[in-house]
């Protein structure tokens, strides 16, 4: 099964992608995680994207598409995969169509996570991430067992640079201008299923599995 998760920053796509990947036993492909990994490892790509990513802007389509193309050439995608945070522009969606066609694959569903902007801003403000393993918590909705420390490895949790209020604003603007139009793009292809993302992660997962017929 090939799925795309669509929705504003803070809609819970990352959390749902991880849960779905476990349920469906297919890889979770997050371009945001891949970029953060490049940054952490200090690669050439990491250096190129650092400033734009920290400020909440989008990385160029060229860099992003090349990274995704490379990822989709790995054998673990054979049973399907979940795209989280990609595509984010119409140009990326068009490149993805071409990539899938070349691989003889086709998209099964685009899950559009629907949540009001006010809820999203609150979720991002309370979000804390583990710099070591990438685990994501929320100070009130899903706190770690020991305050400020990752459950898995004990690392001190951080507020991601792009989750700072001034940068969240920029991300919301980028979303509205460049990513939101993708919903129509996929609606025109009859591939969108809307998911009410205001509920708990467990309730959202259950509803998603139902609509996927699982
Ligand atoms: P995310 O974790 O999906 O919120 O992504 C974090 C940041 O990585 C974004 O704010 C962008 O700077 C960058 N990024 C992730 N995915 C993409 C993409 N498909 N196109 C451009 N930039 C991206
Ligand atoms: Zn951790």
- The enclosing domain of 54 has a CATH number of 3.40.50.300
- Gap between the Cα atoms of 153 and 146, Å rounded: 11
Check pocket membership of 88 for ligand 1, CB cut-off 6 A.
yes
Number of independent structural domains in the chain: 1
175 lines ligand 1 (CB under 6 A): no
Asked if the structure places residue 134 within a domain, the reply is no
- Residue 153 belongs to some domain of the structure: no
Tens-place pLDDT, residues 65-101: 999 999 999 999 999 999 999 999 999 999 999 999 9
Give me the pLDDT at residue 141, please: 87
CA 212 vs. chain centroid, Å, equals 19
Q: For residue range 157-199, what is the model confidence (pLDDT) as tens digits?
A: 999 888 998 888 899 999 999 999 999 999 999 999 999 999 9
- Which residue is closest in CA terms to ligand 1's atom 12? 53
Flag whether 91 is in a domain: yes
- Please list, residue by residue across 104-124, b when 16 or more beta carbons sit within 10 angstroms of its beta carbon and e when fewer do: eeebebbbbbebeeeebbebb
Query: In sequence order, which residues have a C-beta less than 8 Å from that of residue 156 and are 6 or more positions away?
Result: 131, 148, 149, 150
Q: Is residue 89 part of a domain?
A: yes
Length of the chain measured in residues: 214
Query: Do the beta carbons of residue 190 and residue 72 sit within 8 Å?
Result: no
Contact criterion met (CB below 8 Å) for 56 and 167? yes
Return the residue whose CA atom lies nearest to atom 10 of ligand 1.
56
Residue 158 lies in a domain: no
- The answer to whether position 136 is within a domain reads no
Predicted TM-score of the model (pTM)? 0.92
* Mutational pocket test of ligand 1: of 50, 58, 170, the residue with most ligand atoms within 8 Å of the beta carbon: 58
CA distance 45 to 52: 12
Please write the tens of the pLDDT for every residue from 92-129: 999 999 999 999 999 999 999 999 988 888 889 899 99
Residue pLDDT, tens place only, 25-56: 999 999 999 999 999 999 999 999 999 999 99
Dist CA 117 CA 56 (whole Å):
16
Domain ranges, residue 58: 2-116+176-211
């Amino acid at each position: 099964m090939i799925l795309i998760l669509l929705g504003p920053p803070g809609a819970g796509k990352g959390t749902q992608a991880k849960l779905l990947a476990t349920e469906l036993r297919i890889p979770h492909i997050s371009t945001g995680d891949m970029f953060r990994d490049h940054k952490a490892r200090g690669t050439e790509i990491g250096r190129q994207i650092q400033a734009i990513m920290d400020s909440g802007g989008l990385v160029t389509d060229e860099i992003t598409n090349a990274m995704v193309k490379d990822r989709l050439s790995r054998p673990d995608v054979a049973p399907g995969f979940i795209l989280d945070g990609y595509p984010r522009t119409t140009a990326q969606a068009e490149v993805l169509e071409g990539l899938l066609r070349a691989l003889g694959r086709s998209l099964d569903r685009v899950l559009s996570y629907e949540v009001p902007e006010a809820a999203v801003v609150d979720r991002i403000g309370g979000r804390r991430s583990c710099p070591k393993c990438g685990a994501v918590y929320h100070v009130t909705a899903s706190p770690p067992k020991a305050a400020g420390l990752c459950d898995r490895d004990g690392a001190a949790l951080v507020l991601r640079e792009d989750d700072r209020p001034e940068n969240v604003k920029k991300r919301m603007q980028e979303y509205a201008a460049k990513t939101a139009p993708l919903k129509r793009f996929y609606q025109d292809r009859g591939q969108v299923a809307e998911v009410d993302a205001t509920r708990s992660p467990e309730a959202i997962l259950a509803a998603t599995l139902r609509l996927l017929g699982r």
